[in-house]
Structure 1
Amino acid sequence: MRLVVAGSPAAAVPTLRRLAASDHEIAAVLTRPPTPQGRKRVLTPTPVAQVAAELGLPVIEATRVDDTVTAQLVALQADLGVIVAYGALLRRPALDAPRLGWVNLHFSDLPAYRGAAPVQRAVTAGDTRTAATVFQLVEALDAGPVYASDPFDIDPDATSGDVLAAMAETGADTVLRVVDALADGTAVATEQSGTVSLAPKPTVDDAHVRFDESAVAVHARIRGVTPEPGAFAHLGQTRVKLLRSALLPGGTASSAPHLAPGALALVDGRLLVGTADGPLVLTEVQPAGKKAMDGAAWARGLGSLEGVVLS
């Protein structure tokens, strides 16, 4: 089939590469315009735009799909649109521009976690399983009928970044399977059923770690907002990024010292922080203005931890 592929971040790149390597033809790639990146704010194309250029594919750059962009999509005479995290809504007649409409790869077991941050919300909630779902795009948010949903187990120590990178690869295979089925007329879509939940982007407040929660909940929060917007706590007036954490094994946790929520201690070469029900290991941190470092090394640099509390 003749395809148009829409996407912007790195999570959309595996799908673009899979489709480009398939028997299908990519007529054009729709992505967001370049944005300033890094300390020097260098104008940088999206990861999808960079790969499209590498593959020699025509690129349409647009912040939103207005009448001009819609006209470009119509002119492509595509059979199908494939969208993965493009970053803007498609309205009619853009939805109707390809002959078969659009399919969307979404990183949740729909109708759970409809919205922009399904992986971050699932990890923060402590979920152990999610899914890569391909569905027919409709005007309502992530509400279209589902063609395929492949389960994905969430590693108990994986961050949202880890999970999304892995799901982008497995989800690309799901997309190609659906596109092939639509091409040969065997694809079947089923209406969504079950409890609807929403997944808005995490805020800075979501990223602020609260140690009056359980160790499991704190660990899940740190993982869920990593790498964006990035977990943090305050040491006095200074912000400390919390990059990686680990739960103590059952036997070790029961013999660990009691620590008040947010209190720090070095035990057996590990930095422990108190939570509501027991200590958690802070394995990697990043103090303000410094590079990421081992949690214990950072703690040793603080000197005495007596009275030192993260909040």
Structure 2
Amino acid sequence: MRVVFAGTPDTAVPSLRALIASRHEVVAVVTRPDARVGRGRRLEPSAVAVAAEEAGLTVLKPSSASDPEFLDSLRALEPDCGAIVAYGALLRRELLDLPEFGWINLHFSVLPAWRGAAPVQRSIMAGDEVTGATVFSLVEELDAGPVLGTLTERIRADDTAGTLLERLADVGAGLLVDALDHIEDGDIGAIEQPEDGVSYAAKLTTDDARVDWTRPAFAIDRQIRGCTPAPGAWTTHEENRLKLGPVEVLEESTLAPGEASIGKREVRVGTGTTDVRLGQVQPHGKKSMPAADWGRGLGGATTAVLR
């Protein structure tokens, strides 16, 4: 089957590579335009563009998925199906109808739970014990198309959004290829998503990532892990932002919410329930470091207040 693949970030690369290794022919790869990154604001291609070019594939980078020239290019390729993983733009009806078998999407949740941009992050932050991946037929409504296949994955106690998404990207790649195999063989049926159980995973903002130390320790732990690596959980110390890596929830409650106890080997902070031990932190304008190193740089202070 002739397939067009659309994707942009690192999490889409395993699916592209699995598709290249499959029995299907990847006739083109669609990705977002090169973006400016880093302090030098250099234009760099997406992770999917790099992987596609390394494989010698045709790469299309439309500024808009509804661009007439882009649509003409796809028509000329005569794809049988489109496969999309974290592309980053909505596909309109004209594009959805272009391949004979339409488009299928790999989404990192068990739909209809956590439709939207940040399903893995929101699932961790909500305290879910299990998440997964779903392949479904793309429709114009957000992540609402009929389901072609699902898998589940346990959320580990130390999972961050980064580690969990990496795992789901790897196992989800096989699910995507399997769905394409069965579409070509004509022996797969799509199941409409139930109307109950729908939840939405809005993109995380910097405000979502700010820690409120009056919340319970377990909720702060989930928030920080859900915001790691992006957008990055944070608090403030003396009005300067302090980025936070995952913390360890302790059994004792010895400190007031936001009160930090600075020791030679650890920094503890009070919450609405028990204390937490800070892991890696990143002060404004500096590199990430162990919390104890940050504490030693505060001029001998034994306490601090985080807000």
TM-score, scaled to structure 1: 0.95
- Alpha-carbon distance in 1 for matches of 2:11, 2:257: 36
1:71 deviation in Å? Answer: 2.0
Moved more, 71-80 or 206-215: 71-80
Matches within 5 A, 1:151-162: 151-162=152-163
Give 2:72's aligned residue: 71
CA contact 1:64–1:89 (8 Å) conserved in 2: no
- Find the aligned partners of 2:151 and 2:253 in 1 and give their Cα distance: 42
Name which of structure 1's ranges 49-58 and 197-206 shifts more when overlaid on structure 2.
Answer: 197-206
The residue number in structure 1 matching 2:173 is: 172
Counterparts of 2:64 and 2:231, CA distance in 1: 24
Give structure 1 stretches of 5+ with no counterpart: none
Shift of 1:307: 4.8
Partner residue in 2 for 1:296? 292
Name 1:221's counterpart in structure 2: 223
1: distance between equivalents of 2:232 and 2:144? 29
Tell me which amino acid in the other structure corresponds to 2:131.
T
Q: Residue deviations 1:23-57, cap 9 Å, x none?
A: 11000000001001111111000000000000000
Check conservation: 2:262, 2:304, Cα contact below 8 A.
no
Partners of 2:130 and 2:299 lie apart in 1 by: 41
Is 2:15 the partner of 1:15? yes
Q: Quickly say closer, same or farther: Cα 1:81–1:279, change in 2 above 3 A.
A: same
**1:310 aligned partner:** 306
Q: Decide whether the 8 Å contact of 2:263 with 2:295 is kept in 1.
A: no
Maintained 8 Å contact 1:29/1:57: yes
Unpaired runs of at least 5, structure 2: none
Change (3 A) 1:186 1:305: farther
Q: CA deviation at 1:124?
A: 1.3
- CA positional deviation for 1:229: 1.1
Letter of the 1:125 partner, please give it. Answer: A
Q: How is 1:257-296 mapped onto 2 (pairs within 5 angstroms)?
A: 258-266=254-262, 269-296=265-292
SS, match of residue 23 in structure 1: coil
Q: How many residue pairs are counted as aligned between the two chains?
A: 305
Q: Distance in 2 between matches of 1:89 and 1:257?
A: 47
Query: Which runs of 4 or more aligned residues in structure 1 lie more than 6 Å from their structure 2 counterparts after TM superposition?
Result: none
Q: Distance in 1 between matches of 2:100 and 2:156?
A: 39
Which aligned pairs between 1:44-83 and structure 2 lie closer than 5 A?
44-66=44-66, 67-83=68-84
Rounded Cα–Cα distance in structure 1 between residues aligned with 2:94 and 2:202: 26
Per the TM alignment, residue 266 of structure 1 is displaced from its structure 2 partner at its CA by 3.9
- If the length of structure 2 is used for normalisation, what is the TM-score? 0.96
Shift of 1:268: 8.1
> Which residue number in structure 2 is paired with residue 211 of structure 1?
213
The answer to whether the Cα contact below 8 Å between 2:263 and 2:302 also exists between their aligned partners in 1 is no
Does 290-299 or 9-18 show the bigger shift?
Answer: 290-299
Q: Does 2:235 correspond to 1:239?
A: no
Q: Which amino acid aligns with 1:68?
A: E
- The Cα shift of 1:63 comes to 2.9
Hey, what does 2:28 align to over in structure 1? 28
What is the percent sequence identity of the aligned residues? 48
| SS at 2:176 equivalent | helix
Amino acid at match of 2:280: E
Contact 1:264 1:305 in 2 (8 A): no
TM-align CA RMSD? 1.3
